[in-house]
A and B are shown apart, each in its own frame.
Chain A
Amino acid sequence: MSKHTVTMTVNGTKYTREIESRLLLVHFIREDLELTGTHIGCDTTNCGACTVLMDGFTVKSCTVFAMTANGKSIETIEGVAQNGALHPLQEGFWEKHGLQCGYCTPGMIMSAKHLLSNNPNPTEDEIRWGLSGNLCRCTGYNKIVEAVQYAAEKMSAEQEQDA
């Protein structure tokens, strides 16, 4: 096994660690950094539970080597709330009952965050396409779509206020 040193910024904090070359990003995040909000649902690129943002784009962290993330910026579910205040997406999942067991929720929220950053006012169809590939066994998805709509409306309203 060969060791490598990687440095990456996760939720704004820079971490340097020595890792095995075959370590996947999801294990780096969960085990080396002890950020266990990013879940593993399948380990085989199917479920989206492990979704994180890498340099602003969503990826499945079970399908990326930690080595590939070297030098990059990662955002996980732990970085979404700011100064103790829930992000509008988190609030939306709460208000609209967008979760039951919660296992898929971190991946859903990261995917929705990427969607809203590219498309602040998505249609229902666009939300469904944007989240396709993030599997949920509990909710039937309707409440998740409503949660994202809630967040989109709230974020647009906040933007207008700022402007």
Chain B
Amino acid sequence: MRFLQPGTLEEAISTRVDNPEQSVIIAGGTAVVLMLQHGLIAPEVLISLEKIPGLDSIRIEDNRLHIGALAKLGDVADSRLVRQYFPALFAACAAVGNVRVRNQATLGGNLAEADYASDPPAALMMLDALVEVKGISGTRQISLPDLLLGFLTTTLEPDELITGVIIPIPTEQPRMAYLRYNNRSSEDRPCVGIAASATFNDAICTGLRLTVGAACEIPTRLSEIEALAVGSPLTDTRIHEIAEGYAAGIETIDDLQSSAWYRTQMIRVHIQRVLKGLRDG
């Protein structure tokens, strides 16, 4: 096996084009090294992105927050900008695994891995983030629903790399939260993760965004249910209705961690907790 450390994105992409079958991209390596250890992959070439300069920056440009694909989840959680504008993303990244995983795992790797039992994707989808992707024929920006196809599957072409994530900064700062539920140990992967943001005019809810992750193959946002919140106060009855709508509308996953039935119950419970928290400020 060869371990290559290209110094530019272009070089990384052309190395990938030259070895489409035999190469694997590696960023922080928390997933790739495990796959190698378990013999699930046996690449001839590992293409490390680590030496490409500037891919780990977190900055504001044109009223949008840009997070480079190589930013570590710990750096995203520690970023002053992320904490100020997107506390739900802060909470989702800070919840991942443990400090040693967050010191090593990258945001781009988390998205490209496309494991449903993840925290950041739900928060990013709730925030209407765009994923910036670069390949041989240029750059494109796609939404999370357009990136994530299913368990460990994305729409990335073999020559394409994730270069970063772009999140629009809202004009009016909403209340935001990410609530993760683990049914086993605290550092385990999530059973359910709920990302939400809401704006209010006095007690009247003027907007709601609600995404459920980790419980389903792809994080899910149901706009017709979100719309139930808008235009009236978020009463307990209304919150219950929204929770029921999500519980009924999401096809949950059955795995070793929890049954599909249990995940549905946990969606119902945790949506109510998140929304009451946002309402009560």
Contact = CB atoms under 8 A, between A and B. Distances in A.
Contacts of B26: 65
B104 A4 contact: no
The 10 closest A-B pairs by CB, nearest first: A133-B98, A21-B3, A57-B103, A67-B3, A2-B2, A63-B33, A58-B100, A133-B187, A132-B98, A132-B187
Interface stretch (A44-52, A95-103, A137-145, A150-158): A44-52
A35 interface: no
Given A45-B30, A68-B50, A63 B98 contact: no
A130 B99 CA distance: 7
A44 B104 contact: no
A163 interface: no
Given A45-B34, A62-B33, 13 more contacts: A4-B3, A21-B46, A22-B1, A44-B37, A51-B100, A60-B100, A63-B30, A63-B104, A65-B26, A65-B46, A68-B50, A114-B99, A115-B99
Contacts of A8: none
A64 B103 CA distance: 12
A133 to B, nearest CB: 3
Give the size range of B's interface with the partner. 20 to 34
A133 B37 CA distance: 19
A1 interface: yes
B100 A111 contact: yes
A21 B259 CA distance: 41
Nearest to A55: B103
> A68, A129, A134 — which one has the most chain B CB atoms within 10 A of its CB?
A68
Interface in A44-93: 44-45, 48, 51, 57-60, 62-65, 67-68
Interface of B: 1-3, 5, 26, 29-30, 33-34, 36-38, 46, 48, 50, 74, 97-101, 103-104, 185-187
A67 B100 contact: no
Contacts of A67: 3, 5, 48
5 contacts: A1-B1, A22-B36, A45-B34, A59-B103, A65-B3
Contacts of B100: 48, 51, 58-60, 111, 133
B37 A68 contact: no
Interface string A18-32: 000110100000000
A146 interface: no
Contacts of B186: 129, 132
Contacts of A115: 99
Contact of B29 (A2, A63, A114): A63
A129 B1 CA distance: 37
B34 A44 contact: yes
Contacts of A44: 34, 37-38
Contacts of B101: 45, 60, 133
Contacts of B185: 132
Contacts of A114: 99
Contacts of A1: 1
Nearest to B37: A44
A62 B33 CA distance: 8
Contacts of A62: 33
Contacts of B1: 1-2, 21-22
